[in-house]
Structure 1
Amino acid sequence: MSDSFRISQRLSYDGALCTIRYIGCVGDTKGEWLGVEWDDVLRGKHSGFHQGRRYFECKIPGSGSFIRPTRKPDTSLSFIEGLRKKYTTDEDPPGKHAEIILTANKVFEEIGFEKIIKKLSQLQELKIILLDGLRIDCVDDVEVIRATCPNIEELDISRNRFEKLEDVALICSALPRLHALRISGNRFNSFGVSDGNKSAFSGITSLEIANVLLDWNELSQLLSLFPDVKTLIGPHNELSSIPSPHPFPISVTALDLSYNTFPSLSSISALSSLPNLTTLLLAHNTISTLTTAPGTTFPTLTRLDLAYNTLPTFTALDALPPSTPHLTSLRISHNPLFSTDGVTLEEAHMLTIGRLPACVTILNHSTITPKERENAEIWYLSRVAKELSTTTDSREAVLTRHARWDELCRLHGEPAVAKEAADEKILAARLVDMVLVGLEKEVTKRVPRGMPLSTLRACVGRWFGIDPMKVRLVCGGGDEGDETVLGGPEDTKEVGLSVEGKSVRIRVECA
């Protein structure tokens, strides 16, 4: 039975794709096994190990398992068989109308479906074909493909069982109008293409290669065959850095490298040599810094997506303008900097605008109006001025954290910086430093004296993860004298009228 299988063979079981990595005995069990690496890591049980011994390697840890050769895999299809399976309906007798029952009293009859089916069945007229996930693993005669569907312009053969790039080249060589190709989710083990088919990909301007898990040598071989690609989509490929020289064609204008593992903008610095790159999507990586090597710029980049990364503070944004001088659109939502303690989402939005140059006119898919930018920059200047007046750091140290200070002062005028006495009097008089302790947790907050006790209870409930209606706040007790329960009938009373001094320690209980 195992004679019908081979290493690196692509199979699928109940629609789940896998690659054979091992054939043979396992431990002291009887009979032979197939060691397979599943495309879906959730189906895996290990990484090729059994009882401390490694039997095969997995590209993604935890995606391997052993199955018996007697288990029957899904039947395979050729390209034309998959095409006909998807776009023809030989099972449906012509002239038959089906009833669609919506309710017990309403029955409708299909009208016009025959015309749609007839049009779809005319494969020669199809321009867009989606054959993803159909278990295709072999190619028909090129002339048969050319005669069957000569007008295809966009082709999706993702998540099939192709093992050789040569097979994809044969299909493309029969489609003279093809300009968009998706081969995501295929796991090729051969990238050799015969001389006669090396020009098969020359007309492709849009290429999707998500989740192909190629090393740089393999990726270089593949991309060298696509000299005219302008849009390249490559998420989910476990990429953590771009080598120099890189394999990307100089024709690329839009590059999607989302869902990889790049740690910083410097890890993709090599892409700055792409002379036509205008769009770069890096969402869902692990980028925490935006600094690049001195002199590194992306001279043509106008759109950058950094959403769902790990940018920690707003200061990180100051490194972006020098490397992206012509950036007009930026997306940085869902980064830790938007969760900065004490900063609302509205304030975070204004802080971001204030730190970005005026050439950025779109932030997180929203257009920044001139008035919005002016308000944000003036508000940002006021925050810097407040920081200058309250910090013990030197003026130079503070302004190194705010790269646009001089520029914004020239635009809007330098705000007055009143030192300690006035601000201390105003701020200290309005705030109470609270240490809230209880439920195995301690939280320190500065609370406005004018805050109602009902609002304080709601905030404490959120900070401690309990129902605000069950929050019980106890002030004093122990060496400090009698306990005082805050809240209750006096929920509308202000905090400043319930506690004394500039700081207070409060015990939090869950009633």
Structure 2
Amino acid sequence: MQSPSDLAGRSQHQFPNVCHQQREGRRDKPRRSSQRTRAGKMPSLLEGIEAKYGRDSEDFELDIPILYVTRSNNAVPPVLVFNDFGIDSAGSEESLKSKCQNVQELDLAQNSLSQWAEVMTILRIMPRLRFANLSFNEFKKGISDDLLNGGFPKLKSLILNGTHIDWDSVRKLVTRIPSLEELHLSLNGYTYVDLADINKESPVLHEGIKKLYFTDNNVSSWREISKLGQAFPNLETLILADCPVTCLDVSSPPSSLETTPRYYRCESECEGSSRNVDSPHHWFRNLKFMNLNNSLLSSWDDIDRLACFPKLEHLRLHGLPLFDEHCPEFTKHERRQLLIARLPNIRTLNGGGEICHDDREDAERAFIRRYMDKPESDRPERYNDLVGLHGKLDPLVSIDLSPEKKVKITLIHGNKSELKCLDVYQTVAELKQKLEPHVKIPASKMKLYYVDQDLKAIHGPEDMRFPNKMIYSYNIKHGDEIIVDSKI
């Protein structure tokens, strides 16, 4: 049987790590298919099941190709996938119940479901259901309390991406699903978080949820994000890719997009409590994995705040403004070293392999040398920690092994030869383009040969036949020659 994560991956849109190197525009809702019954109505789940696994009548016909599966009894398999079938209702509850007693995984993504009554009927008649994907069905109305009677005792994974489900409905659902471990709320257009129960004047508390996917919502304040940790205290995985989080400082004012935030203090916490509820990690004591790709973090202070999350070991930070604003001249390797040095507890970074002892030590030593000549006021706090660990280091001897940018060579074409100043940071194809008007040979018909003055008696001319090869890779130096010829 396929795992819930495999099924989720097959039925959902994948979120960038969105390639996610740059923030993409808002995704449109997936195109609805136009499957309808012969009578012109959208099909029910029951009709979809009967069309796919055998039917007793020909009162309907789905306008899609169906692979028929003959079964010896009335039951259907434990994994049901009806992605983009146009389904808008459950169908006969009694007939569904007789067929779906053994269903454990259900994918109804990208259908036409809009009424919670139909969804609750479907979920309720599947007593063994562990995984449900309802992504990209539009739920404009909230869930009424009477629809939640009975609960869903075995449901562990619920995917609600792109459904625009409101917070009140989210709260009602999670409180009625005691076994829930994985919740997907991505692409729902949220600008704030509100999981509080107005009647009880207290936030939702669900200790079973360990994975929360919140990709591509418009929440920018960490104060709002912290409410997710408050509601789900045992959260281990938090995916915030493509959320415009600007900083991790919970004392910063909320964005203009965020409305009516509500906060609650536990009765046991008095005004003088020593517990620092203003720390960004206060509500994320058990978090092990976090994805902040393409967020708007732009300060090294936020990286230092991430270092304080007590159990955080796996982190993704691609596409931050921080790198463009504070270290645009650094290579990817140098940026990675800066992050590793500031994040002592992180074991994997940006999806790479586990950070070994030697890599961490190299990064920490490079960090010390980067700041050792700067004024003490410009040194981050981490600098003193690392000096205490590795001691004061001697500066490295600077040796520039990069090739010269320009060299003087002799250009030979036919009976003519002349001195030229050659830029070695270009490709062979680019050099041919520049020589074309000078030697009157089309670049596509031109051949170039490199002659090393020190080795020409041994090797002779070298055919520069690779158009994308950089000129400096030939180790060209002052006094060497390039011969221009025409292809036959």
Q: TM-score normalized by structure 2? A: 0.62
Q: Is the 8 A contact 1:272 1:296 kept in 2?
A: no
Partner of 2:372, secondary structure, is helix
* Alignment map for 1:193-204 (pairs within 5 Å): 193=144, 195=146, 197-204=148-155
Q: Which residue of 2 aligns with 1:270?
A: 227
Q: Which residue of 1 aligns with 2:241?
A: 283
Q: Is the 8 A contact 2:248 2:280 kept in 1?
A: no
Q: Is 1:352 the counterpart of 2:336 in the alignment?
A: no
Q: 2:186 aligns with which of 235, 241, 260?
A: 235
Alpha-carbon shift at residue 249 of structure 1 (Å): 3.2
Q: 1:399 aligns with which of 371, 374, 379?
A: 379
Rounded to whole Å, the distance in 2 between the matches of 1:191 and 1:244 is 14
Q: Which residue of 1 aligns with 2:310?
A: 325
Rounded to whole Å, the distance in 2 between the matches of 1:456 and 1:260 is 51
Q: 2:320 aligns with which of 312, 335, 354?
A: 335
Rounded to whole Å, the distance in 1 between the matches of 2:430 and 2:215 is 39
Q: Is the 8 A contact 2:104 2:130 kept in 1?
A: yes
Q: Is 1:309 the counterpart of 2:295 in the alignment?
A: yes
Q: 1:258 aligns with which of 215, 219, 227?
A: 215
* Alignment map for 1:50-449 (pairs within 5 Å): 75-88=41-54, 117-118=69-70, 124-193=75-144, 195=146, 197-243=148-194, 245=196, 247=204, 249-273=206-230, 274-293=232-251, 294-297=278-281, 298-312=284-298, 314=300, 316-322=302-308, 324-339=309-324, 340-386=327-373, 388=374, 394-396=375-377, 398-400=378-380, 403-416=381-394
Partner of 2:75, secondary structure, is helix
- 1:356–1:458 Cα change, 3 Å: farther
Rounded to whole Å, the distance in 2 between the matches of 1:133 and 1:214 is 19
- 1:385–1:256 Cα change, 3 Å: same
Alpha-carbon shift at residue 185 of structure 1 (Å): 1.2
Partner of 2:88, secondary structure, is strand
Rounded to whole Å, the distance in 1 between the matches of 2:336 and 2:431 is 29
Rounded to whole Å, the distance in 2 between the matches of 1:291 and 1:73 is 58
Quick check: which one's helix share is greater? 1
Rounded to whole Å, the distance in 2 between the matches of 1:131 and 1:254 is 24
Q: TM-score normalized by structure 1? A: 0.60
Alpha-carbon shift at residue 260 of structure 1 (Å): 1.5
Rounded to whole Å, the distance in 2 between the matches of 1:86 and 1:172 is 19
| Aligned-residue RMSD, C-alpha | 4.1
Q: Is the 8 A contact 1:338 1:345 kept in 2?
A: no
Rounded to whole Å, the distance in 2 between the matches of 1:456 and 1:291 is 52
Partner of 2:307, secondary structure, is helix
Rounded to whole Å, the distance in 2 between the matches of 1:144 and 1:267 is 44
Rounded to whole Å, the distance in 1 between the matches of 2:211 and 2:334 is 32
Alpha-carbon shift at residue 341 of structure 1 (Å): 2.2
* Alignment map for 1:414-493 (pairs within 5 Å): 414-416=392-394, 450-452=404-406, 457=423
Q: Is the 8 A contact 1:179 1:205 kept in 2?
A: yes
Rounded to whole Å, the distance in 1 between the matches of 2:42 and 2:89 is 8
Partner of 1:379, secondary structure, is helix
Rounded to whole Å, the distance in 1 between the matches of 2:29 and 2:157 is 28
Q: Which amino acid aligns with 1:369?
A: C
Alpha-carbon shift at residue 292 of structure 1 (Å): 3.2
Rounded to whole Å, the distance in 2 between the matches of 1:152 and 1:43 is 27
Q: Is the 8 A contact 2:29 2:136 kept in 1?
A: no
Quick check: which one's strand share is greater? 1
Partner of 1:404, secondary structure, is helix
Q: Is the 8 A contact 2:161 2:188 kept in 1?
A: yes
Q: Is the 8 A contact 1:302 1:328 kept in 2?
A: yes
Rounded to whole Å, the distance in 2 between the matches of 1:383 and 1:360 is 23
Q: Which amino acid aligns with 1:279?
A: T
Structure 2 residue ranges without an equivalent (≥5): 1-26, 33-37, 58-66, 197-202, 252-277, 409-420, 436-450, 453-470, 479-488
- 1:89–1:312 Cα change, 3 Å: farther
- 1:345–1:137 Cα change, 3 Å: same
Q: Deviations 1:210-242 (Å, cap 9, x if unpaired)?
A: 001133334334444334311001111112332
Identity score, percent: 24
